[in-house]
Amino acid sequence: MCCQTLLLEPHNGVLHITLNRPQSRNAMSLQMVSELRAVLADVACDDQVRALVISGAGGHFSAGGDVKDMSGAASHEALRDLNRVFGTLLQELEALPQVVIVVLQGAVLGGGLGLACVSDIAMADHQAQFGLPETSLGLLPAQIAPFVVKRIGLTQARRLALTAARFDGVEAARLGLVHFVEQDAQGLAQRLDEVLDQVLRCAPRANARTKALLLESLGQPLGPVLDQAAQWFAEAVSGEEGIEGTRAFVHKRKPRWAG
């Protein structure tokens, strides 16, 4: 796929996606959002891709939405649709069957923080700058807010959104927004290698089903969730991955997953 705002690098079952608008600290334009959605649509049904790693060019993850797009919207309806499409991107990224990892450096603001909140695994430089600056601009973190609440809880989300406070990677870890904090780029690279090695040990279909089960467990009645889990478990035990995993365990070898 040819992208103007993204760099794509597939490697050993992992698709590395770099947000590539360094002149604007990787502010997410409508074009970038559209290109990201197109990539996700392709990846969602690609069994050869086990994980996505999203990072930013030029020392920043993303400074949020592109103000030029907002100022160029011709009507109230255009602004509404422009805002809503970013929420759709967050929904699609959260629901992606593959494992989504974000590597956070520099600015992680607004929409950039929203992307971090829908990742499965997040790692940050200790000096990365996080925040929801929208209210300080007279705006709302409209599409981001539900995902922030889901990630760190309502009380902390209220504090951060209603003060537009900035915080670093260490505080992001304390809040539960990120899982790992490293001191420099080398530390982030080493941590990423370690996490990818762990992810690739797991069966791809089992990971996808487990991710879906975890997401469904939020806000859904417990009975139907457990019924679905039982059905998926039975399918896994008798399926290709379950058989291979059991054989590998018995023969004390690493499993060989399809794809």
* Phi and psi torsions of 118, nearest 5°: -100, 5
Cα 7–Cα 12–Cα 18 angle in degrees, nearest 5: 15
Mark whether 136 and 23 lie in a shared domain. Answer: yes
Mark whether 126 and 214 lie in a shared domain. Answer: no
- Nearest Cα residue to 35 out of 74, 78, 76, 6: 6
Mark whether 181 and 137 lie in a shared domain. Answer: yes
* 176 φ/ψ sector (left φ>0, alpha ψ -120 to 50, else beta): left
- Which pLDDT score, from 0 to 100, does residue 157 have? 98
Residues 6+ apart with CB under 8 A from 35: 3, 4, 5, 6
Give the CATH number, domain containing residue 112.
3.90.226.10
Mark whether 70 and 123 lie in a shared domain. Answer: yes
* 106 φ/ψ sector (left φ>0, alpha ψ -120 to 50, else beta): left
Residue 259 lies in a domain: no
Mark whether 246 and 128 lie in a shared domain. Answer: no
Per-10-residue mean pLDDT, the chain, length 259: 91 97 96 97 95 98 88 81 94 98 98 98 98 96 97 98 98 98 97 98 96 92 94 94 94 89
Mark whether 46 and 146 lie in a shared domain. Answer: yes
Mark whether 182 and 237 lie in a shared domain. Answer: no
Mark whether 152 and 229 lie in a shared domain. Answer: no
Residue 258 lies in a domain: no
Mark whether 149 and 178 lie in a shared domain. Answer: yes
The residue range of the domain holding 118 is 6-200
Q: What is the pTM of this model?
A: 0.95
- Which pLDDT score, from 0 to 100, does residue 2 have? 75
d(CA 2, CA 47): 21
Domain tally for the chain? 2
Beta bridge partners of 99: 51
Residue 181 lies in a domain: yes
